Amino acid sequence: MTIYAASLSASGPIEARQSASEILDAGYEGIVLDAPVHHEAWLALCDLLPKDTVKAIRLFLPYPRALRRHEKAPFLAAGESQGDRSDALSQAGKTLEAVDQMGIPFVLIPMTGLGLTGLERRYLAPTASSDSEQMGRRLSHHEVSARMDSLLFLLSFLLEKAERYATRICLTPGNRPAELPLFSECLACLEEFEGAPLGLWLDTCRLPTELLRVPSIGEPEGPGPGFDLFNKVEGASICDEDEEGAPCDPGQGVVPWDQVASTLRGLPLWCIGSDLEEGRRFLDSLVEDEKPPAGIFDA
């Protein structure tokens, strides 16, 4: 049975309490904390919520007390400089403390944007072919290797402590060349830390071809590349965006739900960030549609 959760972000305590109450009153079974969650908002949630209510937390939350509400958080999962790396490690430790305090089972690693120009940053359909020229430039650029080194270093720190806090660290495999990590980079991390509590978390606006459970035209029906990784997928953010890249309610944007839905069915946890009532109806519609073929999750 898939757990329905809704994302919550809040700058202050009043907003945090109101949002949490609305989510639970709407019948959702859990909350996923997403940026921003400032320090005072976090304290309010700790006072309000039972320990097992928060199902996942975005890495680097809650923000430190010194970060004001109008300021942009400086933390990067795959920073390019030594200063970025140090800041990330320090704040990651604060997230683990929050995990321990609230018994949160999953920590979600945020995507990191690349500084390279000329790379696609907008939505790409999961069936879209990769631009070989863009991918070639990306693969050979020193910024990507430096950021991957930082990501691996951060994962090493987190995974060393994850079992102690009874949590799993989750990467989101992306498909936009201007972001990191892509599917291949997530795969490299899983191989590097084989056996560690490292999983995957899908984003329906960034779903890579390798994790799309729909056979391509001209190919035999059955599991495709990456199929054996589905036992590592812990959940998904159910989101959509319009043609300009702005977030919108699922079903109102560019995500091809007729293709994506079969990838989502049977996952342990779905998180939605749109209107709560409409969002719940949308999640119900995913469940009511045709079920995946028998044996789809067999490794």
Count of the separate structural domains present in the chain: 1
- Give the SS3 label for residue 169: strand
43 within domain boundaries: yes
Q: Would 255 be classed as within a structural domain?
A: yes
> 224 exposed, middle or buried (CB, 10 Å; 0-12, 13-18, 19+)?
middle
Mean pLDDT of 14-18: 98
> What pLDDT is recorded for position 230?
86
Provide mean pLDDT across the span 34-50.
Answer: 97
Specify the pLDDT at position 216: 47
CA atoms of 281 and 98, how far apart (whole Å) = 31
User: Looking at the predicted structure, is the pLDDT value of residue 240 above 90?
Assistant: yes
CATH of residue 208's domain is 3.20.20.150
The per-residue pLDDT for 222 is 44
Q: What is the DSSP letter of 230?
A: G
**H helices of the chain, where?**
13-25, 39-48, 82-102, 132-140, 142-162, 183-192, 257-264, 276-288
Residue 295 within a domain: no
Is 299 a member of any domain? no
The verdict on residue 297 lying in a domain is no
**pLDDT tens readout for residues 101-149:** 999 999 999 999 999 988 989 999 999 887 888 888 898 899 999 999 9
* pLDDT above 50 for 225: no
Residue indicated by tokens 């300009």: 244
Query: Which residue segment(s) compose the domain that 190 sits in?
Result: 3-288
Among 204, 76, 180, 176, CA closest to 119:
176
Is 181 within the bounds of a domain?
Answer: yes
The share of the chain scoring above pLDDT 70, in percent, equals: 91
Per residue in 209-224, pLDDT tens? 999 986 544 444 444 4
Evaluate whether residue 132 is within a structural domain: yes
Assess whether pLDDT exceeds 90 at residue 187.
Answer: yes
Question: Please, are residues 175 and 206 in contact by the beta-carbon 8 Å criterion?
Answer: yes
pTM of the model: 0.91
Does residue 54 fall inside a structural domain? yes
